[in-house]
A and B are shown apart, each in its own frame.
Chain A
Amino acid sequence: MSATRANMFWQRVLYCDPRILYALFACLVVLCEFWRPRMPVPIPPAARKLYDLVERLPQDKLVIIDCELAASIRAECEGQFVAVVRHLFRRNLPFAIMMWTTQPEGIKFGTDIAMKLAQENGKEYGRDFVIWNAITPPPAGGAMLQAFSKDIPGMIQNDIFGTPLAKIGCMRGVQDISDISLIFKVSYVWNRAEVPWIGFVQSVYGTPYAAGCVAIQSSDAYPYVDAGQISGLLAGAAGAAAYERLLNAPGIGTATVSVQSFAALFVFVAIVCGNIAMLMLRATSEPEAAA
């Protein structure tokens, strides 16, 4: 190949139309839909911590799942939510799903998934779990959480179907935050400014707090895990996959993370090719410039 032709080739690689890359990328993801690759799933210590914590929880206390599933985070957080709910059902731990109406689709997603899993596991709504009436956090949500910690039935009042909490089996004896064994938040962020669980509940009452968040936010969360403020963390689809592995029940997380690995490999190859092309072009243009 002559130098000019080689130059042209590397120029084509370097200045390739991104739409071609998008198309190749889309083809790869679609292909993975038909051919499901199985990749090894490592278990991060933060996911293991959450699993161990749930294993140790007492059965006479309630677990709160703060569910803020939205369409934009469903890909990563649905797997986390499903895995934790499955674990709670397996251990016969009563739990309440709590929703904030700033993410209105969370109510539908959370209710649908919990009801479906309850049916699969032979659990009954009201006796084994409850879905609290959705509430809208005010801008300064700390005050709301302070009131919530002292009087849970007074703050929530009804479940999602309008039944007073006093009439719901698993809510009997639940008065304040001392009756809660764990708060698990599934959301885009691990600690939302409007619902500051760490600042107003975990640090004040010592109630264990765990979170499932998207991968983008996980880097921010690790200092809190190290400091013991977050008792367990599921970061992105990888966190969901790790938890599924611990439960020995592969699901959405495992499927997503396998495709993710292949797509990440594609991007890695594209970056390497781009860099080689840049170096090759630089190597050929420098002698020409010197001449």
Chain B
Amino acid sequence: MAERQESERLVKLLSQQGDVLVGRWIEGVSHTLRGRLSVLELDRELRELYSALVEGLRAGGPDWRGEGWSEVRALLTELSRNRARQGFSPTETATAVFALKELLVPDTDTSQQDFAAYLELNRLVDALGLFTVETYSKTREEIIGAQAEQLLELSTPVVKLWDGVVAVPLVGTLDSARTQVVMEKLLQTLVDTGSEQAIIDITGVPAVDTEVAQHLLKTVVAARLMGAECTISGIRPQIAQTIVALGIQFGDIVTKATLADALKHALRRIGTSPEAAAATVRGAR
């Protein structure tokens, strides 16, 4: 019952000079954002939030998880999601909520009743601030997850270099998940294009350790089982020396220093001389 009274008192305090308080709040928050968000936008956001907050207190009392607060929670979720997407820091995002505390700072003239109401506001703002940060980090995680997935797709194009020759330029870290995607794409492209030569280019792979090597070997063996020949290209000097020191054996797999060498080799294997191929290209121009 006492809490109910405090909520009512708080509603009164917050609505008495509503416009002045919102104005101060917006001003305080816009300082921390240093003009990276338009004043108009911030104004709209915070005004909406403020009236929802007062309404929430009036209807739902102090329980911010309750039905009466759904509007506030929805607005806060939207606010923190937007901030996360626009690249604001968690501090900048949460400060918008925490700045609410500054509006009703009690002084020596504050009555006992108002003081209790202020403490109530404090408790609420803390809870809402944490809610905001949580939503913020959830959004960030979603963004990171989506980016990781996009990278997985991005980094594994299979390109057709010539009739019967396809290539996969690998870039970045090669883990089990990516190898699986690469292998599937390569094998499917071999079938779709009827190619007999595949080139795996590792120029963009920063380090070849035993796991990467094992993944490469598996891909080559799988391609062989489908009747295609695989060449690994893009072996830079430092990678070559590291592979030797590690003791990895590539066996009878053809390896080349550059993609151009690998293409020449592949053309010869399918019975097209590289010179004739070059002439075809010139003729087509």
B is a partner of A: no
Which residue numbers of A lie inside 8 Å of B, CB to CB? none
